[in-house]
Amino acid sequence: MGTILNMSTIISAILYQILTLYEVGNNFYLDTLAKPTLPNGIDFTKGKRRASGRYTNARTILDIIEEELGFTNYTPPYLSPQTTGDVILKGVNYASSGSGIFNSTGSKFGDHICMDEQINNFEKSRQDIVSKIGAAAARKLLRDALYFIAIGANDIMLLSSNVSSSHVENIKYLDNMIFKFKSQLMRVYNLDARKIAVTSAAPLGCIPFERDKFSIDDCVPHVNELAKLYNVRLKILLSELTKHLAGSIFIYMNSYTTLEDVLQNYKSYGFMNADSACCRVYGKHGGKLPCIFYARVCPNRTQYVFWDAYHPTEKANFILVKHALDGSRQYISPINIRQLANS
């Protein structure tokens, strides 16, 4: 779900997680099956057998963005006992694996921190910041911060599992998603967030999990169609919020177009495999189970687009970050992350 990302004297960016892309360890403190244990993060700790809390082989998209923007430390997970005191003035990550816009999304894994609860946690951080530096300084800190929100993919994948649902039912579900997400984004705004980057749904029908679930080699058309229908609504919503919420700017990070470009041109990017998981247990594409302790890990991780059944490798993350930081309006709009950071 979310992270608060620091910009110089700025606090953090709320990062709301889509497909656990931004998880950095909050779920280690929950009673859940969705824990990013080894071999996840196998390349992050540089040979040390220690879980990083990340669902990729090394750095997440946000880790790389933080480095590119000059931050010296990664934002810590909210639930870590060390995330207290002056630490929260430099950024906090609220992401929780498996969570969604709807409160029930992710419940099959056990405990999870849904979007509403992540915002509650951010509100607690905000109260602590006010207590520490005063209301006026806290307001400036929070309004200057960068907020990254990536959520919704898990909700869409739940919908895609119900193949018997009609087009009308699917549209109603997506409209309900957007309606709830709007209230959540407005709540974040009311807590003093102003610079907010929101990630779209990726081409979810192309991940190894969906390929194996529907037993096809190509991307699953109806899953991708749901993602595109959601994205149309999301982009309109973000534009409307920017127009009507004074002082705000909501950025649309088009992960669908970005990842689709990588998948369609994977060889030109130096990949050899664009449909299977590097960390796999079973399934033709390694999508039947997540990356768990007895999974097989490919030795040539830079040749794979997908790390596991759901998430990209670090190399793929680098490409996605490049478009987010400095990309044109085709990939991110109305401005890119570097421009947002300098605004």
pLDDT digits (tens, 9 = 90+) for 87-144: 999 999 999 999 999 999 989 889 999 999 999 999 999 999 999 999 999 999 999 9
In the chain, what percentage of residues exceed pLDDT 70?
93
Alpha helices in 135-249 (DSSP H): 135-144, 153-161, 167-190, 208-213, 221-244
Binning pLDDT at 50, 70 and 90, where does residue 6 land? Answer: very low
The single-letter code of the amino acid at 273 is N
| 262 occurs within a structural domain | no
Looking up residue 141, the CATH number of its domain turns out to be 3.40.50
Burial class (CB in 10 A: 0-12, 13-18, 19+), 136: exposed
pLDDT at site 2? 43
| 178 occurs within a structural domain | yes
pLDDT at site 72? 87
> Tens digits of per-residue pLDDT, 168-201?
999 999 999 999 999 999 999 999 999 999 999 9
| 280 occurs within a structural domain | no
CA nearest neighbour of 21 among 151, 185, 116: 151
- Whether residue 15 has pLDDT greater than 90: no
- Whether residue 259 has pLDDT greater than 50: yes
Would you tell me how many other CB atoms lie within 10 Å of the CB of residue 291? 28
Residue predicted with more confidence, 116 or 20: 116
Asked if 192 and 142 count as a contact pair (C-beta separation under 8 A), the reply is: yes
pLDDT at site 51? 85
- Whether residue 48 has pLDDT greater than 80: no
pLDDT at site 101? 96
- Crossing angle of helices 221-244 and 167-190, rounded to 10°: 40
CA angle 270, 272, 276 (to 5 degrees): 130
CA nearest neighbour of 110 among 50, 217, 38, 30: 30
Binning pLDDT at 50, 70 and 90, where does residue 163 land? Answer: confident
In the chain, what percentage of residues exceed pLDDT 90?
86
Quick one: average pLDDT of 314-325?
97
pLDDT at site 50? 80
Would you tell me how many other CB atoms lie within 10 Å of the CB of residue 45? 13
Q: What is the distance between the alpha carbons of residues 245 and 124, in angstroms, rounded to a whole number?
A: 23
Binning pLDDT at 50, 70 and 90, where does residue 7 land? Answer: very low
pLDDT at site 47? 63
Full residue range of the structural domain in which residue 117 is found: 15-205+215-256+313-342
Asked if 203 and 224 count as a contact pair (C-beta separation under 8 A), the reply is: yes
| 29 occurs within a structural domain | yes
pLDDT at site 21? 64
Residues written for the chain: 343
| 273 occurs within a structural domain | no
- Whether residue 14 has pLDDT greater than 50: no
CA nearest neighbour of 101 among 113, 91, 111: 113
Domain count for the chain, please give it.
1
CA nearest neighbour of 43 among 296, 301, 281: 301
Q: What is the distance between the alpha carbons of residues 343 and 333, in angstroms, rounded to a whole number?
A: 14
pLDDT at site 201? 97
| 264 occurs within a structural domain | no
Q: What is the distance between the alpha carbons of residues 248 and 188, in angstroms, rounded to a whole number?
A: 11
| 295 occurs within a structural domain | no
State the DSSP H helix or E strand holding residue 62, giving kind and residue range, or none if neither: helix 61-68
| 81 occurs within a structural domain | yes
Binning pLDDT at 50, 70 and 90, where does residue 202 land? Answer: very high
- Whether residue 342 has pLDDT greater than 60: yes
